[in-house]
Amino acid sequence: MNCEVLLTIIITSMNKEYFNNVQYKQIISKKLKYSNLFNVEFLYEDTNSKDFDIKLKECINKIESKYFLVIDTKHIFTKDYIVEIIEYLKCRDIYLLEPYKFLGDIPKNFVKELLPKDYYLKETSIFGVILNTNMFKEFLVANEYLDYGTWYINYRLYYSILKITPYRIGYSVNSDTFIVNGIDYNEGIESIFIENTLSSLELRLYKLRYIVLMLRRIKIKEQTYLPTYAFMNVIKDLKIEDIEKYTLITDKLELGLINYFNNSKNNYEMLYKKLDKYDVIFNITNNDMKFNSFVKLYDIKFLNENVKIFKEYRELKVTNDIQDLANFEYHFNKISKDSILIFMDRSLNADDNAEHLYSYFIKNYPEFKNAYFALHKNSKDWNRLKLKGFKLLELWSKEFYEKFYLSDAFISSQIYNISYKDKNLANSRFVYLQHGVMLNDMKDWIISKYCDLFIATGELEENYLKKYNLIETINTGLPRFENLEKKCDSNKILFMPTWRFELNKMNDLQFIKSGYFKALNNLINNRVLLNYLENKDLELVIKLHPNIIKRSKLFNISERVILSEESYSELISNSKFVLTDYSSVVIDAAFVDIPIGYYQFDKESFFDNQPYNQRMNFENEGLGVVLYSEDDIVDYLVNEKYYDDREKYKGRNDKFFKGVDKNNINKNIIERILAL
């Protein structure tokens, strides 16, 4: 290798085919201008594999250029990224060059002064950062057993690089799934961070964020080979006063573990949420709590001890202190006709449970003059709802936050971590309507939410949710169910596939090579199926998941196949058969006795890449047929076998919806809300 080479770019990918993407072509195109200044090396290894750090270390040790940069084909960066780097490095001698880093799309105007909150939220992997090769090799020799996920932070600690101003280039890892799942690590590590007494607030916040995400992963797995004192040493070194000032409301349980490690006693108790009659207390201890009022949530096996987390419902103590806004009880006032109530579905889309519940509420409770429906003003639903008489509140506007601050209840089918002037969902009333029925095991997600009411559908879901939310769960069914109807003269078959978390990391080229795209595209272009639709004068309607709609133009659509943006309720009511892969949205169809089915083309791998595990056995408990191959699903549809197996699924339907008063869903929910 030419010793005068300035920069080596290491491109990582789990698949050689991915090197055809736009980002890679952008890099190669710059070789024409800077042919003698940078080289490109390839590392064909999945970043999540156990051997990735070993392979990456080997690759770095072979580099002879002055600087190196690691990027992944799933990541994205600004158009001038490579040019800016080369021009900057040509006339400087530096430890590192850092871009502005993001998790999702790179904003147009990203150059700004970073605040402590920005440091805490920053993605801190080695990807996208330009590093001094010899200095980094020296760092690796001195710190052989560090996990590669901490290399960036530890490199800065090792050389006491206390503060960095990012350069005017942008880089995104193009995924935020690690926030949900936490950060994993290799079992060979001996310590998490190296000691540095000169550490700045910036670096300490990086360390705090990493520990929070690391503990999230350990909590989910409920085991680690690390001892608790490995975390105690790091936490004492943080020296951050008022940690909660920098962290997120979603980090509260992990902060509880941090406080437990920092506590000389064997237990730590924290207030997690206030309900109308109870304080929700989380107890973190290495002892067993054997009381009826305690619900065991986790039993985490550390190397030296087991740490348990219990949930307790304790009689409410009113502690309103105007000097302590963070713990002020914003639901202290009873809900009355003068109360401000805010309803909301997705930020850009209505037509879900909040819209249906709001419609019922303003019709039947006209004395409540301060009930609002929050929605982004750019939503296609804005004018439609305005014509329906909805009192619309522009989402994320100043008025929205002021109304939220004064509101007595926030009612939504989605969960947004809203906070304003120390008011948040932990210290105020929040009613979670859900946007579907929970068919999978989402224990960690459920536990982390701050709900006063959690809407369930049927005894099966109710019993599952009550394992973690004993008081908050109510079995009423979803508000939108009441507006569903079955139309007998339908000529439509509806297909509503869900999405996959790993698809978010892919560009369009990678997406069309995925098994997901191929399965969907092959089905909607199956010649036997299309001939059947033509002969019977039927239509196959596709309703893509909101996260997939932006890729809709990639599918090959024929005359008998329609990509629809109609409302779910309209589509379901106008269908003779409803098909999905794993989505609970087909439960709506089953509720009004429309036949449903599941096409699970990736049964063996689907749950491997999701942030939840399978709970429902679709074959034994599903409300419709389960098929795995394209030929089988086409045969089932073409021969209209869904008319022949209705009796088989009637008993399952009755059991699934047990306890739901089908004619009074909205009435029962509103009555419970007003009683809070």
φ/ψ of 257, rounded to 5, equals -65, -40
| Separation between Cα atoms, residue 565 and residue 560, nearest integer Å | 16
**Residue 484 exposure: Cα atoms within 13 Å on the Cβ side:** 27
Question: Which of left, alpha, beta for 177 (phi over 0: left; psi -120 to 50: alpha)?
Answer: alpha
Are the beta carbons of 294 and 274 closer than 8 angstroms? no
> What is the DSSP track for 387-439?
HTT--EEETTSHHHHHHHHH-SEEEESS----EETTEETTSS-EEE--SS---
What residue segments make up the domains of the chain, in order of their start?
1-175, 178-313, 341-477+663-674, 485-656
Q: How far apart are CA 620 and CA 603, in angstroms?
A: 15
pLDDT for position 595: 96
Whole-angstrom distance, CA of residue 87 vs CA of residue 148: 28
The residue type found at 222 is: E
Cα-Cα-Cα-Cα dihedral sign, residues 513, 514, 516, 519: positive
* C-alpha span between 539 and 494 (Å, rounded): 8
Residues in Cβ contact with 252 at an 8 Å cutoff, skipping those fewer than 6 apart: 270, 272, 426, 448
Confidence (pLDDT) at 103:
92
* Tokens (6 digits) for 393: 């509140």
State whether residue 212 is helix, strand or coil. Answer: helix
Q: Catalogue the E-assigned strands of 158-305.
A: 170-172, 267-274, 278-285, 294-301
End-to-end alpha carbon distance in the chain: 71
CA 88 from chain center: how many Å?
Answer: 36
Q: What share of the chain is helix, strand, coil (3-state, %, to 5)?
A: 35, 20, 45
pLDDT for 520: 97
CB 385 within 8 A of CB 373: yes
Q: What is the pLDDT of residues 198-218, one digit of tens each?
A: 778 999 999 999 999 999 999
Q: Is 97 in contact with 88 (CB distance < 8 Å)?
A: yes
At 32 the pLDDT is: 64
**Residue listed under structure tokens 């103590």:** 317
Taking the domain 485-656, which CATH number applies?
3.40.50.12580
pLDDT on residue 323: 44
Give the angle subtended at the CA of 539 by the CAs of 535 and 542, to the nearest 5°.
145
In the CATH scheme, what is the homologous superfamily, with its name and number, of domain 341-477+663-674? Answer: CDP-glycerol glycerophosphotransferase, N-terminal domain (3.40.50.11820)
**Alpha-carbon distances, residue 410 vs 263, 406, 451, 468, 475 (angstroms):** 35, 11, 10, 21, 19
CATH topology of domain 1-175: Spore Coat Polysaccharide Biosynthesis Protein SpsA; Chain A (3.90.550)
**Equal CATH topology for 341-477+663-674 and 485-656:** yes
| Predicted local confidence at residue 322, as pLDDT | 42
Question: To which H or E segment does residue 578 belong?
Answer: strand 577-580
Residue 394's pLDDT is: 98
Phi, psi of 424, deg, nearest 5: -150, -175
Q: Which residues of the chain have pLDDT under 70?
A: 1-3, 15-23, 31-32, 290-293, 317-329, 331
pLDDT tens-digit profile of 106-145?
998 988 888 888 899 999 999 999 999 999 999 999 998 8
409: β partners:
341
- Kindly report the CA angle at 444 between 74 and 49, in degrees rounded to 5? 35
Residue 327 has what pLDDT? Answer: 55
